[in-house]
C-alpha cells in the first residue's frame, strides 16, 4: 500500500479501511455460525475404497467424482478475493473458452436475509443488464450449501488497489474512468435498477484498463410506480464513507440520487487518493457530512474539478442529477 494512502486530512478517511464499513453486514458481525465440512461438490466425502482407484469387490477402476463446477465445464484456480461469507476464484470455462471469475457464496455463513432477499435480487438484476462498463454475468449454479456466480474476469483488479498503488490519479485519467462509471450508472438507472453499493472496491479494471461496475448484491429493480414516480428506499445498505446524508440520517431516500452521491465519492477518491469523509465513526461522519466539503492542499486539483464534485456531494435537493453531471464543464473536457 502506498504510504500516502494512509494519510488523512481533517475530514477525509483512508480508502478501503474501516471507513468503508458496511451498513448491513455490521449488524451481523460477531455471530458465530457452525459449518459442516463437505467436498467441493457439496456431498459428503465417500469412504475410501480398499485400494485407491480400485473397486473393493471386483477390482474395477473407478473414475474420480466430478465437482458440480467440473460438471459444468469449469475448472477452479486461485482465490482472488474473500469476504465474510463469499470468496472469488479464477476459473476456466470450457464453454466460453476463457478464464472467468467464480464468486462462491456460502449459504451456511451468509445471513438468511442475504440468501433469501438480496442474492436473488442480484441474480435477477444482472441477468438483464448488458453494458461495456458492467461485468458480464454468464450463469449461476446453486447447490444445497453454495451458490456459484460465473462472471467475466477483470484482469487488472479493483480501482481501490489501482489508486492505492499510484497514491492518486491525474485528472485526465480520473475523468476517463469517472465517465465510464457515470455511463454504467446511467444505463442501469434507465433499466430501473439502482446499485446502492457503489464504491472503489466494487469497481474493477479489465485487460484494457476500462472500468467495470460489479456486485449487485444490494441492487433493487422495482424502483418506480406505474406513473414513473420514484419508490423511496428504506433499506439502509452500502458503506458509511460512500453513503449519502439522507441514508445516514435513517430516512427514506431516493436511491437514484444516492447512487450519484457515491459516484462523487469515487471521483474524489481518485483525484485526491483519499475519501472525502471518514466513515470509521458514524456520529462524527454525520456532523461533518453536513458541513462544507474540504479539499486537501495536496494533490492539487483544478477549480473546475472541485466545482463538479461539490455539486455532486451536495444536499439531495440541489445535488446534480446525471444529465447535470454530464453537462458539467469538467466532465465535458477531453
Long-range contacts of 104-109 (CB under 8 A, 24+ apart): 104/146, 104/147, 104/148, 105/146, 105/147, 105/148, 105/149, 106/35, 106/145, 106/146, 107/144, 107/145, 107/146, 107/147, 108/33, 108/34, 108/35, 108/36, 108/145, 109/33, 109/35, 109/84, 109/85
CB atoms inside a 10 Å sphere around CB 68: 17
Strand partners, 149: 103, 140
Q: Which residues are catalytic?
A: 197
CB 269 within 8 A of CB 15: yes
Q: Which three cell numbers stand for residue 331?
A: 466532465
Distance (Å, whole) CA 323 – CA 334: 18
CA-nearest of 161, 153, 159 to 99 is 153
Q: Establish whether 127 is an annotated binding residue.
A: no
Distance (Å, whole) CA 80 – CA 93: 17
Distance (Å, whole) CA 20 – CA 253: 20
Query: How do strand 86-93 and strand 98-106 relate by DSSP bridges?
Result: antiparallel
The length of the chain in residues reads 334
CA-nearest of 184, 186, 195, 163 to 268 is 163
Annotated binding site for ATP: 103
Annotated binding site: 103
Amino acid at each position: 500500500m502506498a504510504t500516502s494512502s494512509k494519510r488523512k486530512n481533517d475530514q477525509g478517511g483512508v480508502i478501503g479501511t474501516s471507513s468503508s464499513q458496511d451498513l448491513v453486514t455490521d449488524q451481523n458481525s460477531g455471530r458465530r455460525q457452525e459449518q459442516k465440512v463437505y467436498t467441493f461438490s457439496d456431498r459428503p466425502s465417500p469412504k475410501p475404497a480398499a485400494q485407491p482407484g480400485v473397486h473393493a469387490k471386483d477390482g474395477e477402476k473407478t473414475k474420480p467424482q466430478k465437482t458440480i463446477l467440473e460438471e459444468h465445464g469449469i475448472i477452479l484456480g486461485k482465490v482472488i478475493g474473500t469476504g465474510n461469507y463469499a470468496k472469488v476464484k479464477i476459473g476456466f470455462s470450457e464453454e466460453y473458452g476463457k478464464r472467468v471469475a467464480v464468486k462462491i457464496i456460502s449459504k451456511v455463513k451468509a445471513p438468511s436475509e442475504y440468501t433469501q432477499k438480496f442474492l436473488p435480487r442480484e441474480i435477477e438484476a444482472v441477468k438483464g443488464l448488458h453494458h461495456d462498463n458492467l461485468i458480464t454475468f454468464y450463469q449461476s449454479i446453486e447447490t444445497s450449501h453454495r451458490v456459484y456466480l460465473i462472471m467475466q474476469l477483470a484482469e487488472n483488479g479493483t480501482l481501490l488497489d489501482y489508486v492505492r498503488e499510484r497514491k492518486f490519479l491525474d485528472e485526465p485519467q480520473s475523468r476517463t474512468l469517472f465517465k465510464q462509471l457515470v455511463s454504467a450508472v446511467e444505463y442501469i438507472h434507465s433499466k430501473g435498477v439502482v446499485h446502492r453499493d457503489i464504491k472503489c472496491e466494487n469497481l474493477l479494471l479489465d485487460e484494457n484498463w476500462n472500468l467495470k461496475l460489479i456486485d449487485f448484491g444490494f441492487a433493487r429493480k422495482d424502483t418506480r410506480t406505474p406513473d414513473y414516480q420514484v419508490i423511496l428506499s428504506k433499506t439502509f445498505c452500502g458503506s458509511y464513507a460512500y453513503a449519502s446524508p439522507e441514508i445516514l440520517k435513517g430516512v427514506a431516500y431516493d436511491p437514484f440520487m444516492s447512487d450519484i452521491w457515491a459516484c462523487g465519492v469515487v471521483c474524489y477518491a481518485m483525484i485526491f487518493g483519499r475519501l472525502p469523509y471518514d466513515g470509521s465513526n458514524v456520529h462524527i461522519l454525520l456532523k461533518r457530512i453536513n458541513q462544507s466539503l474540504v479539499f486537501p492542499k495536496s494533490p492539487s486539483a483544478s477549480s473546475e474539478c472541485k466545482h463538479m464534485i461539490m455539486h455532486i456531494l451536495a444536499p439531495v435537493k440541489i445535488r446534480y442529477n446525471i444529465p447535470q453531471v454530464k453537462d458539467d464543464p469538467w466532465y465535458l473536457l477531453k
